[in-house]
Homo-oligomer: A and B are copies of this chain.
Amino acid sequence: MRPASGDGRYILAAAVTLAELAMRIGCRVDGDETIDVRRVASLDDAGPGDVTFLHNPKYAARVSATRASAVIADDRLTDAPCAVLRSSNPYLAFAEAVAALTPPAVSLPGISPLASVAASATLAADVSIEPFACVGERARIGARVVIESHAVISADVTVGDDSVIRAQASIRAGTVLGARVHVQDGAVIGSDGFGFARRPDGSHQKIPQVGRVVIEDDVEVGALCAIDRPAVGETHIGAGTKIDNLVQIAHGVRIGRNVLMAAQSGVAGSTTLGDDVIMAGQSGAIGHIALGAGVKLGAKSVATKDVAPGEHVTGIPAVPVDEWRESVALVRRLPALRRVLTDLASRLEALEQRLK
């Protein structure tokens, strides 16, 4: 797949018939498959010529009012005012429909004369480097990579084929990025880990952070994320992991494959996340613990110890989600419990008086 163009701009494809779209996104058509469609839009915004989608059953009632020409849905949708593109995974079909109807604008590859590229850097075929981007000594840039304006690729960095480094991202010395890695604007990869040793006088001596960050294929790093290098060894992110904006990944963290980290979450030093972990928004994990494969950590919660594979935990500190729900409910009932306690105490007192 061709990566997004350097300027993040998309174009509308020419109209296609519903039959052709259905074939490309793997759906079956219920209705007139000869009509033309041009665009994907939400249930409320869609009009004639648009394809919409029903992913969240919460919105099923709105389908009857849509003005779209077609809706992507699974077999549970029984009644629609337009053609239906049937899929067992409507959200995935929706993703493919957006890609089919709004391909990225193809930027012509080429090195801007306003970029700064070290003579010792090696660039594979069809690389795009925009104005004011910097590529450092001995950096190795893969085929079809896009390096946007003001991005900094420091010395000895490797960037795999088809990766996109967006504007103002900073990839510090020695970092290794795989293929199809997508780094959004302003992200910093390879910043110094927060490592200091206390001197006898109470001041802090910096531990040089001379390890490196390694990011495998197909990882997305959101805007304004910080991923630190460690003093020794590696900070490592597994293939297919997707990281939202403003996320902190500390030195020596190891993250598995296909992990999802939502915005403003953070992981402290040397902690490991297994494959398929999901960290919700504003959640955190303290240092030196392990979250097993498939763990889900709730929004705004903090894991403070190891979590077994597959567990769903939340709260501060994080506990199994059922336990957390019960605690929250009981805390809300504390005023009532206190009234019961007061009532019991006075009745017991009365009984004691009577029997004195």
Contacts and interface: CB of A to CB of B under 8 A. Distances in A.
9 contacts: A8-B154, A8-B192, A9-B155, A99-B207, A168-B186, A172-B185, A186-B188, A268-B281, A348-B348
Contacts of A196: 95, 242, 260
Given A194-B222, A208-B98, A323 B332 contact: yes
A204 B94 contact: no
Interface in A195-242: 195-200, 202-208, 210, 218, 220, 222-224, 226, 228, 231-233, 240, 242
B248 A248 contact: no
Q: Which 8 A-B pairs have the closest CB atoms?
A: A226-B245, A9-B173, A191-B223, A92-B197, A95-B207, A95-B197, A330-B334, A194-B244
A274 B40 CA distance: 27
Contact of A281 (B58, B156, B286): B286
A306 interface: no
Interface stretch (A28-36, A76-84, A129-137): A129-137
Given A167-B170, A191-B223, A245-B228, A134 B131 contact: yes
A178 interface: no
Contact of A184 (B9, B191, B319): B191
Category for how many chain A residues contact B: 35 or more
Copies in the complex: 3
A335 interface: yes
B328 A232 contact: no
Given A9-B156, A168-B152, A250-B263, A302 B302 contact: no
A94 B223 contact: no
Contact of A263 (B116, B258, B266): B266
A128 B341 CA distance: 70
A345 interface: yes
A96 B196 CA distance: 11
